Amino acid sequence: MQQTIRIIGIDPGLRNTGWGVIESLGSSLRFIASGTIKSDAKLSLASRLCQLHDGLEAALHEFTPHEAAVESTFVNKDAGATLKLGQARGIALVVPARAGLPVAEYAPNKVKKAVIGVGHGDKEQIKLMVNMLLPKATYDSDDAADALAIAICHAHHRGPTNARLEAALANENIARAS
């Protein structure tokens, strides 16, 4: 028996962390919500990371996903920027993990391939395909659109390894109905 799985996709960044929540039932996808957590550049790094933590925790609390997917870090020429992105990514990994969610990681090229069919593409192509796959989707930034793409990628790649989660959800639904 298939269960609806709620997935949060997270596009980590120190300035802006996008998040998007979808539901997946078989090959059917449904938009739930999305948003962007913005950190205040005037604050210390620690305070900015706290802002990201608190924003992601609030999204998890409000939309109660079953699984999380996070885009993996790419290394660029600016080591300092890469390090800060890595710290933001650490927040994006630990918040859902602390909430008890399984957390998957996907390379940017894998996300693009899952959503637009090729491993390279621009933001506009991603937004176009997100809109086609999730016609009711709304998002307030490119980061939130990317987060929805990450969630879509996870829905396509999650596979049979999560059969235990589906069974647990089915048992939980049966217990609630009793």
Tens digit of each residue's pLDDT (9 = 90 or more) over 134-159: 999 999 999 999 999 999 999 999 86
**Region of poorest pLDDT, from 7-21, 112-126, 134-148:** 112-126
Tens digit of each residue's pLDDT (9 = 90 or more) over 64-76: 999 999 998 766 6
> Whole-angstrom Cα distance, residue 111 to residue 98?
24
> Whole-angstrom Cα distance, residue 149 to residue 115?
6
pTM score of the predicted model: 0.86
- The answer to whether 10 touches 56, Cβ cutoff 8 Å, is yes
> Whole-angstrom Cα distance, residue 2 to residue 158?
13
What residues act catalytically?
A: 11, 71, 143
Instruction: State percent of the chain over pLDDT 90.
Output: 68
pLDDT of 161 above 80 = no
